[in-house]
Amino acid sequence: MKQSKKRKLKKNERIELKELAEVLSINIDRLRGFLEEWRREGDVNISYKFIHIIKPGERLLKYKSLPEIILLKRLIERDEMDLEEARNETRLETDDFNAALAIILKNKLAKIEKSDSRSFLKIIDKKKVLDYIQKKTQIVDLLIQKGGVEFEREEDIDQGLKELINRPGILHTTKRRIEYVTFLKDPRNVLDKIKTQEIRDLTRDIIISGEWRRRKLKEYDVNAISYSLYSGKRHPLRELIQEIREIFFEMGFEEISGPIVETAFVNFDMLFQPQDHPARDMQDTFYLKAPFDKGEIPFPETIDIIKSVHEHGGTTGSKGWEYNWDVDEAKKLILRTHTTAVTIRNLYLNRNRDSLKLFSIGKVFRNETIDYKHLADFMQVDGILMHSRANLRLLMGLLENFFKKLGAEKIKFWPTYFPFTEPSIQPTIYSEKIGEWIELGGAGIFRPEITEPLGIKHPVLAWGLGLERIIMIKYGIDDIREIYFNRLSWLRKRVL
């Protein structure tokens, strides 16, 4: 890199960045790049200062003079002028004319006299006016000619210009930053480095200029720590929900949904759960607070038959629960305690069909203390199959299929009890990953006291399970609450 004949570079001498770029015949941004390296290595010092720049403003450029000068030049020819005439003759815009007038009056260069219904502008002191015109014209012409003036310090600005600063549109003031470079070592040695300087960032400029052919591209440490990047991800629970949806779709099931806020009627009474059952006490179920505490029973045509089934079995051949069923209790609004509420709703609405395969996934609620094993709101899945040939063995077969698709290797069934199914079975599954048998979910055949009164034609196989438990097993989580803490340390870093 040769130094041009424009200026010789000396050690410890300050040079403006722009000038240095010219001297070295190098693009200023590229120079900045080198300077940064040199600064880091202690070869140069970079400093800067601000200077004030004053340029002509819009208005000044428009008239090439100050508006009051234009008016005064007219006035001086005849000592006094009709204001309206002045307005027309000077051809100043209204705002500018008024501003000019204000300045003239303020500086006591002229005064306004009224006579008849007309106003006249009359010069007070002719000498003063000529003085004013001369001084201001000098300043303005200089500014317009030069295009602008620079001052290092605010104090250095001319009084004449200072007066004009506050007038809108007359002057335009800005600041400019000037960068300086001082070579701390012999400039020749510093500049020589460029020849051997390795290119770090390969930029568009370097490719275009061909600089990359003349210099070496620096080698990197491929194991150097770079910044962390994380891909966006679905929540593990969402992935599990999707997985389960797919399993059901594979088996030809229909996805259904239902409300979260339910009447006790649908959530309990339609499922043959008696009204004085422990599960319905305030301890386990969330009842809504007034004014949302009561609702309308969605299927009022079934009220009488549900009542009779609860009280003495209706026509189902059951003893029933032998108590007095209360319709007001059934109208209470709750947060559903199981997705079986969605199931029974849809079963009833589809009672005219001969066969059904339905499933739903959704939030359910239990009024419990939240601890490492329990939540008050969690996700459940409910699956049902209704068919004339549905029986216990088919239920077991379905469950085997379902759990195998979820990743279980072995499944066993044990007798258990649920209030709305009979027989009821408890699936337990085994997988190498878990290393032991665990209980998962529950299943059974809907009791005749439920299906017969509602006109559901055939046996209904039903099964359900909570999803959080599966997440805990899959990710080795001990505390169920972790699932809802949404810690980025887990969500960002988990393996897909």
Strands (DSSP E) found in 321-441: 333-335, 356-365, 377-386, 410-418, 421-430, 437-439
Please state, in angstroms and as integers, the Cα–Cα distance from residue 44 to each residue in 12, 82, 85, 191, following that order. 9, 68, 66, 11
If one asks whether residue 435 binds another protein (CB under 8 A), the answer comes out as no
Which of the residues 437 through 456 are near another protein (CB under 8 A)?
445, 447-449
If one asks whether residue 264 binds another protein (CB under 8 A), the answer comes out as no
Nearer to another protein, 235 or 433 (CB): 235
Specify the stretch interacting with another protein by CB under 8 A; choose among 83-91, 104-112, 175-183, 410-418: 410-418
Characterize 96-118 residue by residue with b for buried, 16 or more Cβ atoms within 10 angstroms of its Cβ, and e for exposed.
bbebbbebbeeeebbeeeeeeee
If one asks whether residue 254 binds another protein (CB under 8 A), the answer comes out as yes
Nearer to another protein, 195 or 289 (CB): 289
Q: Which of 257, 304, 349, 433 forms a contact with another protein (CB under 8 A)? A: 257
Nearer to another protein, 254 or 304 (CB): 254
Alpha-carbon span 428 to 440, nearest angstrom: 6
Nearest to residue 448, comparing CAs of 318, 264, 310, 312?
318
If one asks whether residue 416 binds another protein (CB under 8 A), the answer comes out as yes
Alpha-carbon span 40 to 93, nearest angstrom: 58
- Pairing label, strands 421-430, 410-418: antiparallel
Characterize 435-468 residue by residue with b for buried, 16 or more Cβ atoms within 10 angstroms of its Cβ, and e for exposed.
eeeeebbbbbbbbbbbbbbbebbbbbbbbbbbbb
Closest distance of CB 283 from another protein, Å: 8
Q: Which residues contact 154 (CB under 8 A, 6 or more apart)?
A: 52
If one asks whether residue 276 binds another protein (CB under 8 A), the answer comes out as yes
If one asks whether residue 413 binds another protein (CB under 8 A), the answer comes out as yes
If one asks whether residue 249 binds another protein (CB under 8 A), the answer comes out as yes
Nearer to another protein, 164 or 445 (CB): 445
Closest distance of CB 177 from another protein, Å: 23
Q: Which of 71, 270, 335, 381 forms a contact with another protein (CB under 8 A)? A: 335
Specify the stretch interacting with another protein by CB under 8 A; choose among 23-31, 51-59, 147-155, 258-266: 258-266
If one asks whether residue 53 binds another protein (CB under 8 A), the answer comes out as no
Phi, psi for residue 454 in degrees, rounded to 5: -90, 0
Which of the residues 226 through 245 are near another protein (CB under 8 A)?
228, 230-235, 237-238, 242, 245
Q: 49 has which bridge partners?
A: 178
Nearer to another protein, 192 or 255 (CB): 255
- Compute how many residues bind another protein; rule: CB under 8 A: 94
If one asks whether residue 298 binds another protein (CB under 8 A), the answer comes out as no
Characterize 145-163 residue by residue with b for buried, 16 or more Cβ atoms within 10 angstroms of its Cβ, and e for exposed.
eeeebeeeeeeeeeeebee
Written as one string, the DSSP assignment of 245-273 is: HHHHHHTT-EE----SEEEHHHHTGGGT-
If one asks whether residue 323 binds another protein (CB under 8 A), the answer comes out as yes
Nearer to another protein, 10 or 374 (CB): 374
Specify the stretch interacting with another protein by CB under 8 A; choose among 53-61, 77-85, 155-163, 279-287: 279-287
If one asks whether residue 399 binds another protein (CB under 8 A), the answer comes out as yes
If one asks whether residue 302 binds another protein (CB under 8 A), the answer comes out as no
Place of tokens 């815009």: 93
If one asks whether residue 424 binds another protein (CB under 8 A), the answer comes out as yes
Which of the residues 99 through 128 are near another protein (CB under 8 A)?
none
If one asks whether residue 415 binds another protein (CB under 8 A), the answer comes out as yes
x-or-dash pattern for another protein, window 460-489, by CB under 8 A? -----------------------xxxxxxx
Strands (DSSP E) found in 399-449: 410-418, 421-430, 437-439, 442-446
If one asks whether residue 137 binds another protein (CB under 8 A), the answer comes out as no
DSSP, collapsed to helix, strand or coil, labels residue 88 as helix
H/E stretch holding 111: strand 110-115
Specify the stretch interacting with another protein by CB under 8 A; choose among 25-33, 172-180, 200-208, 287-295: 287-295
Nearer to another protein, 132 or 402 (CB): 402
If one asks whether residue 376 binds another protein (CB under 8 A), the answer comes out as yes
If one asks whether residue 292 binds another protein (CB under 8 A), the answer comes out as yes
Nearest to residue 420, comparing CAs of 281, 327, 321?
321
Q: How far apart are the first and last CA of the chain?
A: 54
Closest distance of CB 48 from another protein, Å: 25
Specify the stretch interacting with another protein by CB under 8 A; choose among 119-127, 133-141, 160-168, 413-421: 413-421
